[in-house]
Structure 1
């Protein structure tokens, strides 16, 4: 019995180091186990898993990231900064105004519109402009008309001129000749044409009328061969060198609008170049069938780059502040948690900063809290920094 106990003790003593060694290896293996790689969606950082795959929301490929990283900043090289078009500015105080956007449109200015009418009754022999949209210049021939009435006046003048020539001392004949000449002037007969009539001693019932203004033919009222009455409309010519801007405003907002007030106008397709405009008129009557009032101003259009009918946006000043911290709108990133900006704390090192915003307009936004004057703020490329942070860190910056 004692021999059996002795053998057990010897066997246990011999195997004990092997058990201890195995236990130590297992413990070390657990302590030094490899960190599992995690993956997230570049567009939806809330999607996290420990293996590659696709995002269940947008179906994008998941990218690896280090979920244990606690560093809240990004460090980029000069080439990365240039490629991402990251630029900065020093934060400082400036004046800021907020705007109310009004829907508007460009319309033709009636002061630049001319209706070309016939000075005599007759038949339109030739239309030198036969379609709308054609540009005409002042003095350019527009139409030729045959007028029996004009022929009669010319014959009357030839008789009066012959009487004056026959009896040069007779004052009565000179008065008759002067009156007959005046009638021809009323029908747009120039002195040169009247002198030519005397030289040729032959009536010419055809008269060509030129454009009295420069512009674009907007409407044709006659066709070739058609008879027109004296004063009858032949065509309408519009000038677009100056256009009206009309905008709709609700009656409860009309108190913020006053004649003489300066506003900004942005035309569709030319958003980068807003124009200044003075409000000239406020219609006191609501539009028919609509609970809207109408305001109007004028903008110059010297190169005819705008056409009537284009949509426009009028920025009506609503609130203004002096000496406030403001940034370009592109510098502020907004998400479900609020707004944040990116500060360059050192050369090539960028850090997100949560901010509170105030009034804003189309160009700038007021920073009420979270920014100090003199700090260097990213104004372009902020969204790329946001995306880079999500890719590397797997969560939102703030």
Structure 2
């Protein structure tokens, strides 16, 4: 019996190291598992943090992995990453900055280049050679043919007066009658060639074809084939677009900032890279009906008819300017609820965020009053991509914990 107890004790003692080692290995495994545990966050909502993959409870986006132990405030990107993200930089320097007031405007047809085609005689529209709007016509092109009994009567009157002159060539009275009859035909747009043809044929032709007096685009038709029209009645109107009006609305309190004869910038929607210079030609003396707005107007050239009436246009009124200020392109500054910040390149491929304070702004530039010094290299394009990359890699806002520069 004593021998059995001794053997059992020896077995227990020999097993203790193995059990201890197994327990240590299990603990190491648990520590390894804990150390290898990953953290996930939402790219749009960095406050959402989980220890496993999933979706954001706010926007539903898939969570992405990030290293929450990495406390470095900068991002390091390789040359290929910089090229792929189209990141460009600019060395900050002092320069002049002008501020502008932006007015909403539009392009409209210049009435001075609008021609109303009207009938010179009363009659019936026999043929319309242009039957729809939007058709381009050239000066001298046939537009319509009209049947006119009045014109036929004038032609007959001229033939009779010409015959009398031929019969009595020395009679001054008949010569005056013939001259007056000829003048009537000329006033009804009968050309000298048509009058000569009438004398040769000795046949009255009640049909007359009228050409376009100007080149342009047919903007409206007032008649149709077979319709009778009175003398002076509108047939169609032709608009030319080689020059357009620019109209903009302005509040009376702002009207003092603009004067007739002043040059302003005009930016047409879709052609932001080609600003036009316009001279203010008119400021309405009274408010528009039903509004508290005045209207200013000028003209801009339209080479090649590339712009159409109705396009939106912005007018930039110069208000004030500053000299020798630190300025950046507007896209280089990122704004959120915590303020404004930019990305500074500390060394090649290494970028860090920096909070800044802004001053006067124009439509394409921002004054930096605090946070930067002349000579700093700032990211101009790709700043928002760096912001997103920081959220993905760090899982926090780059401005978290940063103080406003003094």
User: TM (normalized to structure 2)?
Assistant: 0.85
Cα deviation code 1:222-250 (max 9, x no counterpart):
22222222212111111222221211111
Whole-angstrom distance in 1 between the partners of 2:52 and 2:109: 65
Q: 2:88 maps to what in 1?
A: 87
Alpha-carbon distance in structure 1 between the residues aligned to 2:178 and 2:119: 25
Q: What does residue 258 of structure 1 align with? A: 259
Aligned position for 1:173: 174
SS at match of 1:386: helix
- How far, CA to CA, are the matches of 2:145 and 2:65 in structure 1? 81
Shift of 1:170: 3.2
In structure 2, C-alpha distance between the alignment counterparts of 1:395 and 1:299, rounded to whole Å: 50
Distance 2:398 2:77 in 1: 16
1:99 aligns with 2:103: no
User: How far did residue 168 of structure 1 move?
Assistant: 2.9
Aligned-partner SS, 2:260: coil
State the alpha-carbon separation in 2 of the partners of residues 37 and 135 from structure 1: 68
Q: Distance in 1 between the 2:306 and 2:386 partners?
A: 38
Partner residue in 2 for 1:189: 190
Question: Partner of 2:146 in structure 1?
Answer: 145
Distance 1:107 1:167 in 2: 60
CA displacement at 1:285 relative to structure 2: 0.9
Is structure 2 residue 403 aligned with structure 1 residue 366?
Answer: no
User: What is the alpha-carbon distance in structure 2 between the residues aligned to residue 39 and residue 149 of structure 1?
Assistant: 91
Q: Please show how residues 42-121 of structure 1 align to structure 2 within 5 Å.
A: 42-121=43-122
Partner in structure 1 of residue 157 of structure 2: 156
Q: Secondary structure at the match of 1:71?
A: coil
Task: Determine helix, strand or coil for the equivalent of 1:384.
Answer: helix
**Cα distance in 1 between the residues matched to 2:81 and 2:365:** 27
Q: Write the distance in 1 (CA, Å) between the matches of 2:99 and 2:56.
A: 40
Gaps of 5+ in 2: 1-12, 400-406
SS of match in other structure, 2:131 = coil
CA shift digits 1:122-157 (9 cap, x unpaired): 222111112222221111111111222222222222
Of 76-85 and 356-365, more deviation after overlay is shown by 356-365
Q: Secondary structure at the match of 2:173?
A: helix
Mapping for residues 1-398 of structure 1, pairs under 5 Å: 35=35, 37-398=38-399
CA apart distance, 1:184: 1.3
* Alpha-carbon separation, structure 2, partners of 1:83 and 1:177: 85
CA distance in 2: counterparts of 1:262 and 1:67, whole angstroms: 56
How many Å separate the matches in 2 of 1:391 and 1:317?
42
In 1, distance between residues paired with 2:155 and 2:66?
Answer: 97
Q: How many residue pairs are counted as aligned between the two chains?
A: 376
Report the more deviating stretch, 60-69 or 295-304. Answer: 60-69
SS of alignment partner, residue 80 of structure 1: helix
Moved more, 58-67 or 323-332: 58-67
Partners of 2:324 and 2:190 lie apart in 1 by: 67
- Report the aligned-residue RMSD: 2.5
Tell me, what secondary structure is at the counterpart of 1:252? coil
Quick one: distance in 2 between partners of 1:384 and 1:203? 81
Stretch deviating more after TM superposition (259-268 or 128-137): 259-268
Instruction: For residue 318 of structure 2, give the secondary structure of its aligned residue in structure 1.
Output: strand
Deviates more, 1:301-310 or 1:78-87: 301-310
* Alignment-derived partner of residue 4 in structure 2: none
Q: What's the CA shift for 1:272?
A: 4.1
Give the superposition deviation at 1:191. 1.1
